[in-house]
Chains A and B, each alone.
Chain A
C-alpha cells in the first residue's frame, strides 16, 4: 500500500476503451473557472426556469431565484429534473444541450460534499460465498449472521457499520465453516440407504397415498386446510450435516400431457394435526415420463432431518384410489457425499503436502432392518392377535403393528415385549412409536422397563414412564438411566388406552437405541507435516487469496504467529491451521473493503470478485494481478469472463433481491381463499423467472428496453399455467415467446414483482406505483415539505372504491405533487392480482362455514371491474400496455436509473451529482444501442476507478 499508482491516466484509458460517448452531456466540458461557470449557469436558469420559478410565480412552491442565490442548497432534485428532462416541461422551450450542460455542471459543482465513508464492511452474503470458495465447501450460514443492510436497499450500504454482534456471528460462522471443511474427527463414512416406506404426518392422510406395486402412489397432496400434506421417507438418519444425493425411482401415472411435480423437502418428521411445520424446499422433480426413471437431486441435510415429499398435479385432486399421480418406487439416499477424496477443502488448503487417509467407500445400509435385527436380536411378546404379530413392530412401517390377542379369547395382562440382546451390545434406550390410523385402541400410556441376564429372573424396573397417546406416530425415545449390556430387556405395558374397557396393548414400532458398529466411525485425513515452514506456506497461500494481495512474511507475521503458537501448544497441524485461517477471515483485511492491496490490479480484482461473484478473486484474476495487468483490454475481457462464469448468478440473485426487493418475496403468503391455486411450487419458480430473465439480458447484451417490455420470458409448466399460456410442459425453465395478445414481458408484469408489491390479499396501486417509480422509472420524489404534515386523509366514505380514494390525491396539490408520479403507475397494474394473475374484476372474500376446507375454486365472488387507465404527464394510457409504451419512450431515464442502481449496488452509496453526470453520459441516445452488458461494464469500470479517487 505504500506503492503509488497512477490512476487518472488509467481512468481515461478505460473509459475510452469501454464506451463511446454519444451526443449526451460531456463531462467537464466547460473549462471555465467556478465563478464563470456559476454565472453562465445562472444565465441559463434565468432563460429557462425563472419564468415559472421566481418569487412571484413560484410554481410548485419552488422559488429558484432565491434558492439558487443561497450559498448552500440541495440541488439534487433540480439536477434530476433537468437531467431526466422532466423540467422544463415538454411544452416549454427546451435548453440546448450545451446550455443544459452548464446548469448541470454548476449544480454538480456546488453540491455539498457529503462524501460517503471511504470504506465499508463486506456483507454477510459476500462473507459466506467468499469463505465457501476459499475453503472449497458449500455451506449456507447466512441465516446465522444478522441482516446487515439496515433500512437501506443495498447490502453494501456504507452507512451500516460493522458491529460487535456482527463480528461475533462471523467468528461463529468461521468456526462452523472451518469445522465443516476440516472436521476435527474426520469425515464420516458415506452410506447408502434404500427405502420405499413412507410415514405420513397424519393418520388420515393415507387416502392420498396408497401402496402401489413396489412403492407408493401419491396423488394430490394439498390438505383440506390448504397446506400440503407431508409424507416422510424417514428410514435413514443423516449422521452429520452435509450433502446427500437423493435418487427417486419414479414415474408419472396418467394419460395427460402435464408433468406431475414432486417437491422435495428437508425437515424433521412431525405429526401434522393440520398444521404446517417449517420445512425447507430442497428441490423440485418434474415427472414427465410414463416409464420408470431415476431422478437425482443433491441436497443439504442436517442430522435428525428427513426427506418429505409433496406431490402435486392439477389432474389428481383428491382421488382416493385414483390411478393418476406420482408413483415413487423407491428412494435411494447416498451420503454424505464429497466432491472427491480427500475432499477439495483439503486440496485447497493443504495442496502439495503429503496426506494420508483410509479409502472411503460407500456402505450399504439396509433400512428395513431395525437396529435390533442389526445386532442379531430377537423379539418375543406376551400374546398376539393373528395378522398383528410381533414382526409388525419390526418391519419399519407404522401402518402395521403388533396387538395383544383379543380373538377368540382376550389375552390377560400383563402385556409385554421382550427384546433379546444376545451379543451384549450396549443399549442406550428404546424407541417407541404408536401406529398410524385406526382408533388408537391399545396405545401404551405407561410402561416400565426390566432387565434380565437369563430371560427368567427380572430385576426391579430401571425406568418407568408415560408415553403420549393420540394420533402421534412420531418416535418417542425412552432413555435408560445408564446404558446396559443385559441380554434381555422387557418392555412392560402398565397402562394402555382402551375404548371398550378391555385390557389391550398395541405398538407400531419398538426398537433398541444403540450405536451400530462402524456407525460412529470416521475417516481422518492426516496432513503429514509438523513443519513450521509448511504451516507458513499454508497460511500464506490462503491469505493471498483471501486478501487478494501478495503479502510479505513480515506482514503475515501475526497470522503465522497465532498458528505457530497453536501448533506448539497443541501439536495438531490441522487445528493450528484452522486458527490461522479463522484469524484471516475475521480480520480487518478481509471484512473491510476496500482491502489493502499490493498493487492496483489486486484491488480491482478484489472489487470485481466481490461485485460480480460475491467472492474473492480466482486463480486467473490473481495471476493477472501478480503482474499488475488488470487494465485496458485485459480488464474488459476479464469482466466479460466473470459475467459469463456461473458464479455471476450470485450477483444476479443478489441484485434482484436488493434492487427489486425480491428478498421480501417469501415473507408474503397469498390468501388461499382469494388465490386458491397459489402454491409452494409457484412460489419457488416465480423469482427464478426474474433471475433467469435478467441473466439472459446480461448474457445476450440486450437493449435495456427489455426491462420494460419484451416478447419473451423464462417459464416452465407451473409458471405458464399461472400466466395462462398453453402448451408448456415440464418444470425446466426455458425461453418462451409470447404471442401479441399476452400482456407479459418485462419486469413490471412478472409474477414475482406483482406479488412482492402486494400484501397477499389486496393490491395497492400506491405501493406498486411507488415501486415502479423508484426502481424502474427513476422518478425523483421530493420529500413532503416541512409544513405539510398530518394531512388526515378524508377517505372515510364507505362507498368510495379504492381507486376513488386514491384519486382524491388529485384534490390536494400537496399530495398530488408526488402522487402524480406514483398512483398512475400503480393503476396500470391493477389488471394483475396479488399473485400476478391477470384479472378483469376484483375478488371479494367470502366467509366459509365451520372449519376452513380447502377448495380449488376458493372462497370469493367477483366484484367491480378493474379500471387500469391513467395519465402520466398528460400522456393517457388504457392499461399496462400503454404504460409500457410511455416508459419505453423514456428509455434514457430508465437506463439512467438502472445505471444509478447498479452503481449503488456495486459501491454501497448513491452516486453524487458529478458521478451521475458520468453515468448519464454512458447512455446512448438510441434506445437500440443502450444495452445491458455494455452499461454494466461501463458502470463497473467507472466504479472501479471511482473507488480509488
Chain B
C-alpha cells in the first residue's frame, strides 16, 4: 500500500512515461474487458437542497430534480459527505473539491494534487490524452490540480476540443515541430544547468525545470500517438445561440461522451460556474451566482432551479446516451464512473458541508440513496474510487479509510 502525497509525485510525477506501448498491446488483447473510465463534474454553485434530495429516504424518485432521470437504477446519491476544514472557505472551497486540502481561503494555501490527476497517472498512459479537463469559460482554473498544487488550466472552447480530439494534423509538419521542440527543450535544459552553476535562485529554476520535464513527457507522448490516426466521429456539437450557456454545457458533455466512446481519454473533469452577469436558460434569466444566494425567497428559488434543472438535464442526457452505447457485456456507462457533486452544500449561504454527491455508472451495485449517519469525509469515497481503479493508495486528502460505500 502506498500513501499518496504531493512529495511522492514530485519525485516520480513528471518523469513517469505516459505512453505505454498500448496500441499494439491493446490490439493483441482484443477480447479483454473494456477499460475503466472516470469523470468528475463539479457544479460550483451547488444545488437547491429541498429539490435535490429525495423527500422519502432511499427513494430517488421522490427527488424533484432526479425523479425524471433515465438511469436512476445506476445512480447512488450520497448524503452527509463533506471536506473537513472548509468552514469559512466559501467559494474558495472549489479549489479543494477534488483535492480535499483544507483552508483554501488561507492566503498561504497550497493545494494538493487532485484525484483525477492521481487517476490519470495510472489510467492516462494508454490513451492519446492522459486526461481532459473542461470548464465553461476561460478562467484558467477548474478542479484539476497538479502535483505542485497548481491549477491545470481547463479547456473551454468546444470547437478547439473537437479539433484536438478528432481532427488529424499535418503529419509531416507536426513531426518536424515535435523535433524542433525537443531541440528547444535540450537548449533550455542546457541553459538551466548553466544558470544553476551561476547560482540563480534555485526555487525559480526548479519550478521551471519541473515544467519542461512535463512538457518533454508530453512531447514523447504526442510523438508516440502521431503514428495512430485520430478516431473519426460525426460532428454532433450544437450551435444554438439562443441559450449559449446551455449549449456550452451540452457540448462539453457531448465531447466527454465522444472522448470516452473513442477511448481518447479515460479521465475527465468538468467544472461549471458563472459568477459574472446573467445567463439565460429555458424559462429563466438571471445571475447564477446572485440567484444562488436565494435567501429562501420563492421567486428567486424558482429562477435558480431553472438553471439547476438545465444543467441536470444535460447530465441526464449524458448518462442516458452513455448507457445506450454497448460495450463488452454492458454499456459505456457501466465502465465509466460518473461523479457529480458540488463544493457547496447549501447554495444560499454558501456553506461547504453536507455536499451533494452522486456516483453513477461504473458497474457498481447501486444503493440509490445512501445516507451516512454522520458527516463523513468525501475523501473516504475518493480513496475508495482510487482502489476501485486499481490504485493501491493508503490515503487521499483527508481520508480516514475506504468505507466500502460502492459495491462492485
Listed in ascending order, the chain A residues whose CB lies under 8 Å from chain B are: 1-2, 114, 117-119, 143, 146-151, 160-169, 171, 175, 275-277, 555, 557-559, 561-562, 565-566, 579, 582-583, 586-589, 591-592, 596, 664, 667-669, 671, 759-762, 764, 767, 783-784, 786, 789-793, 795-796, 798, 805, 910
Contacts and interface: CB of A to CB of B under 8 A. Distances in A.
Contacts of B139: 147
A165 B200 contact: no
Given A667-B277, A671-B278, A783-B105, A555 B208 contact: no
Interface stretch (B33-41, B212-220, B324-332, B377-385): B212-220
Given A143-B138, A146-B140, A164-B214, A664 B348 contact: no
B351 interface: yes
A275 B241 contact: yes
B3 interface: no
A595 B255 CA distance: 41
Given A277-B241, A586-B188, A589-B191, A163 B286 contact: no
Contact of A151 (B92, B148, B180, B351): B92
A589 B108 CA distance: 26
A555 B194 contact: yes
6 contacts: A117-B203, A146-B153, A167-B211, A175-B177, A275-B242, A791-B349
Given A783-B88, A795-B295, A163 B146 contact: yes
Given A165-B152, A668-B278, A582 B208 contact: no
Interface in B288-313: 289-290, 295-298
A805 B294 CA distance: 12
Contact of B183 (A565, A669, A760, A791): A565
A607 B205 CA distance: 19
Given A275-B241, A562-B184, A588-B188, 4 more contacts: A561-B187, A668-B277, A761-B287, A789-B88
User: Of residues B181, B184, B298, B348, which shows the largest number of chain A Cβ atoms within 10 Å of its Cβ?
Assistant: B184
B199 interface: yes
Contact of B199 (A1, A582, A591): A1
B191 A164 contact: no
Contact of A119 (B138, B148, B203): B203
Of A149, A558, A667, which is in contact with the most chain B CB atoms at under 10 Å from its CB? A558
Q: Which 6 A-B pairs have the closest CB atoms?
A: A668-B277, A146-B153, A147-B140, A759-B287, A667-B276, A558-B190
A665 to B, nearest CB: 9
A12 to B, nearest CB: 25
Contacts of A760: 277-278, 287
Contact of A165 (B107, B153, B191, B192): B153
B296 A147 contact: no
Contact of A147 (B95, B153, B287): B153
Contact of B286 (A275, A566, A761): A761
Chain B interface size range: 35 or more
B16 interface: no
B200 A1 contact: yes
Contacts of B241: 275-277
Interface in B47-79: none
A569 to B, nearest CB: 9
A790 B349 contact: yes
Contacts of A149: 140
Interface string B137-150: 11111000010111
State the main secondary structure of chain A at its contact with B: loop
Nearest to B218: A164
Given A151-B92, A667-B276, A588 B184 contact: no
Contacts of A579: 180, 183-184
B87 A789 contact: yes
Contacts of B218: 164, 168
Contact of A161 (B207, B215, B289, B298): B207
B64 to A, nearest CB: 19
B236 interface: no
B184 A583 contact: yes
Contacts of A592: 204, 207-208
Contacts of A587: 188, 191
Given A163-B151, A562-B184, A669 B277 contact: yes
A859 B398 CA distance: 52
A792 B349 contact: yes
B187 A583 contact: yes
Contacts of A119: 201, 203-204, 207
Contacts of B180: 566, 579, 582
Nearest to A163: B150
Nearest to A582: B184
A558 B183 CA distance: 10
Contacts of A147: 138-141, 153
Contacts of A795: 295-297
B148 A558 contact: no
B195 interface: yes
B214 A793 contact: no
A759 B184 contact: no
Interface in B159-209: 177, 180-181, 183-184, 186-188, 190-192, 194-195, 198-201, 203-205, 207-208
